Each structure stands twice: as C-alpha cells, then as structure tokens.
C-alpha cells in the first residue's frame, strides 16, 4: 500500500494533467509565458508552445520525484544524507529508504502544488486586459518556496538526526 505522501503526490500529478489539458482547451492563441518582477508579461508564446512547456515540465518533475522515490539507492554517490554512515547500516537501511521515499514524495507534492498554479495563472493573465501576473499566483509561489525550505531544513536538522545517545558506526 502506498504512503499518504505518495498518494498525495500522484493525485497532484493527475490534477496537474487535468489543469494542463483544461487550460489548453480554454487558452487563446497567444499566451503569456513569463512575467517580469513587476508582474507584467514579458514573454509570449502560442498555446501549443505553452502546452509543450507544461507537459515537459510535468514529465520532468514526475521523472525526478516519482521515479527517484521508487528507485534511488541510499548508497548512491548522488544521495547526500546527514549522518549517512548511521542510516546506511544494514539494520537501519529499510527505515532510511522509507524515509527518503517519503521525503521525495513530500517535496514532489509541494513542487506539484506550485506547478498546478501555472496553467490557471497563464489562462487568467491571458484574459486580463493588462496580462499581469495574478496576485494569488505570487502567494502560491512564495508559500511553495517557504514549504520547500522549511521541509528541507526540518529534514536536515531533525528528521535525519540519529536518536540521542545512539553512537555512529
């Protein structure tokens, strides 16, 4: 049975796919794809270009988070865990794998919350007279950033810390 984090991640992947298709069907032929720091659209593209960008972005994030969550080895040189020597002992390896899998799904879910805001942002901005970035999308971006940084800090400072009084090998 999949963990709650995995189910949330995959549910958000489905929501993102539905938003991409629904937004594509409702998009005008010319769509804002980038905004300046002041919220003014400064790059435009076709709806097909937007679809390709959104699909590629979603596939890339599924590959990074979904694929790695199921297949990444803790002994890989790509994995940099706090207290790796503690977590990669044979008796702790199953717990460490489960923790890493959950962490990847949680971080992936946060990223997909952000991604789910992009198609509606593009659609709303394309229909606005001034094509400005909607204020709510900035809130989603900032909240996602805070969530990723906060979760990563908790992972490093608390989650992956060995229990007090337990020695390392």
Domain ranges, ordered by start, for the chain? 4-159
Q: Which residues have a Cβ under 8 Å from the Cβ of 76 and sit 6 or more positions away?
A: none
Closest by Cα among 51, 46, 56 to 19: 51
Among 58, 55, 66, 53, smallest CA distance to 8 is for 66
**How far apart (Å, rounded) are the C-alpha atoms in residues 72 and 107?**
15
pLDDT in tens, 70-80: 777 766 677 77
Question: Which value, to the nearest 10 degrees, does the dihedral of the CA atoms of residues 65, 66, 68, 71 take?
Answer: 170
pLDDT digits (tens, 9 = 90+) for 114-165: 999 999 999 999 988 888 889 999 999 999 999 999 999 999 888 888 887 6
């Amino acid at each position: 049975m999949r963990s709650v984090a995995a189910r949330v991640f995959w549910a958000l992947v489905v929501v993102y796919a539905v938003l991409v298709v629904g937004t594509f069907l409702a998009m005008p032929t010319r769509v804002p794809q980038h905004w300046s720091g002041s919220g003014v659209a400064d790059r435009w593209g076709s709806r097909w270009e937007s679809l390709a960008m959104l699909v590629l972005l979603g596939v890339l994030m599924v590959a990074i988070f979904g694929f790695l969550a199921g297949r990444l080895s803790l002994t890989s040189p790509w994995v940099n865990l706090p207290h790796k020597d503690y977590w990669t002992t044979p008796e702790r390896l199953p717990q460490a794998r489960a923790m890493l899998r959950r962490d990847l799904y949680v971080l992936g879910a946060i990223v997909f919350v952000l991604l789910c805001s992009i198609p509606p942002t593009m659609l709303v901005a394309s229909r606005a007279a001034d094509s400005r970035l909607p204020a709510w999308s900035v809130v989603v971006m900032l909240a996602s950033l805070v969530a990723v940084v906060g979760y990563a800090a908790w992972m490093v400072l608390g989650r992956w810390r060995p229990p007090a009084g337990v020695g390392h090998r």
